[in-house]
Amino acid sequence: MAMKKWLSLIIILLFALGTGLIAYYYLTGPRTILRISTTTSLYATGLLDDLGEEFERRHLGIVIQIIPVGSGEALRKASMGDADLVLVHAPNLEIQYIEEGILIEGEIFAYNYFVIVGPSSDPAGIRDLDNSTRAFQLIFEAGNRGSALFVSRGDNSGTHNRERFIWSKAGLTPSGSWYIEAGTGMSQTLEIANEKGAYTLSDIGTYLKLKKSGVIDYLEIMVSGDPDLINIYSVYLVNPDKVDGVNYELAKKFMEFIVSSDGQNIIDSYGLEIYGEHLFYAAKGSDADQLKAIWRYFAYPEG
């Protein structure tokens, strides 16, 4: 009887030792870093953390390094060899790097919508419009009258480029004290607009995240649903033949994961239970040709 107890104890100790060694190796063993430069909205909402954690769980020894910046800077970092792949939402910028051969094997993996948000007092009178161009015209007029403010990200991000697209479509060039170029990410831009009682353009995901957490109390969605406000997210590998020092094989694995059924399910369901609506929609299951046509529309805004 005593012998059985000793054997049981030895088995338990060996199991604990083995588990400890595995944990120790996992915590201190060799690591391979995957560098992802990404638009701030994917990072600020927490979606990329969820995708990254699941990928790391499936690939022990891989550590994901996220570089959250505006899409323009994310693309520049890729061209400099500071990222292995990029997740961005600025088709008019992406196309330049594709044509230069720096970005390869691109895939649309998600989409959501931009919204124009502003103070509940709505001094420009844009609430419930379904035309973003008309909304910007009214904000422009109210701004010049001194009755409204607009905060621009001003950082060459995907959001900033869409804002410029709408101003251009409206035939307007905003300037003056009412037009504030923040040079900040989406979260900070929303906070500035909230503090100043100003309008701004935001992706729906970041807006809902900050609204739910109470960071932005006063901003409300004013304009949504315009086709010009659809927001398409793409993933690209950095071409190892053009850029030195990139980990093409590992980047390819991550891309394959986020466009797989499992990755797409994470994207499509992310935040749905908390916010009661989608922060992002998975590209899989959508009309792929339509998404590509929309991407091309924004990639070549001059026709």
Q: Looking at residue 200, which CATH number applies to its domain?
A: 3.40.190.10
2 inside domain: no
| Same domain? 126 vs 176 | yes
E strands in 120-252: 150-152, 179-181, 200-203, 219-223, 230-238
| Same domain? 59 vs 141 | no
Spatial CB neighbours of 158, under 8 Å, sequence gap ≥ 6 = 39, 41, 70, 71, 88, 89, 90, 93, 231
Q: Which of 229, 252, 275 is the last residue of a domain?
A: 229
| Same domain? 259 vs 180 | no
Kindly report the backbone phi and psi dihedral angles of residue 168, in degrees, each rounded to the nearest multiple of 5, phi listed first: -65, -40
pLDDT tens string for the chain (303 positions)?
555 555 555 555 555 555 544 444 444 555 799 999 999 999 999 999 999 999 999 999 999 999 999 999 999 999 999 999 999 999 999 999 999 999 999 999 999 999 999 999 999 999 999 999 999 999 999 999 999 999 999 999 999 999 999 999 999 999 999 999 999 999 999 999 999 999 999 999 999 999 999 999 999 999 999 999 999 999 999 999 999 999 999 999 999 999 999 999 999 999 998 888 899 999 998 889 999 999 999 999 876
pLDDT at position 286 is: 83
Spatial CB neighbours of 65, under 8 Å, sequence gap ≥ 6 = 33, 34, 35, 36
Q: CA-CA distance, 249 to 240, in Å (whole number)?
A: 10
pLDDT at position 26 is: 47
pLDDT at position 129 is: 97
Give pTM, 2 decimals: 0.88
Report in angstroms the alpha-carbon separations of 158 from 41, 70, 124, 285.
10, 7, 25, 24
Q: Which of 229, 262, 290 is the last residue of a domain?
A: 229
Pairing of strands 230-238, 103-119: antiparallel
Spatial CB neighbours of 3, under 8 Å, sequence gap ≥ 6 = none
pLDDT at position 8 is: 58
| Same domain? 100 vs 239 | yes
pLDDT at position 14 is: 55
| Same domain? 221 vs 290 | no
Domain holding 50, by residue range, is 27-112+230-299
pLDDT at position 285 is: 82
| Same domain? 137 vs 281 | no
Report which of 240, 262, 232, 208 is spatially closest to residue 58, judged by C-alpha positions. Answer: 262
Q: CA-CA distance, 111 to 212, in Å (whole number)?
A: 21
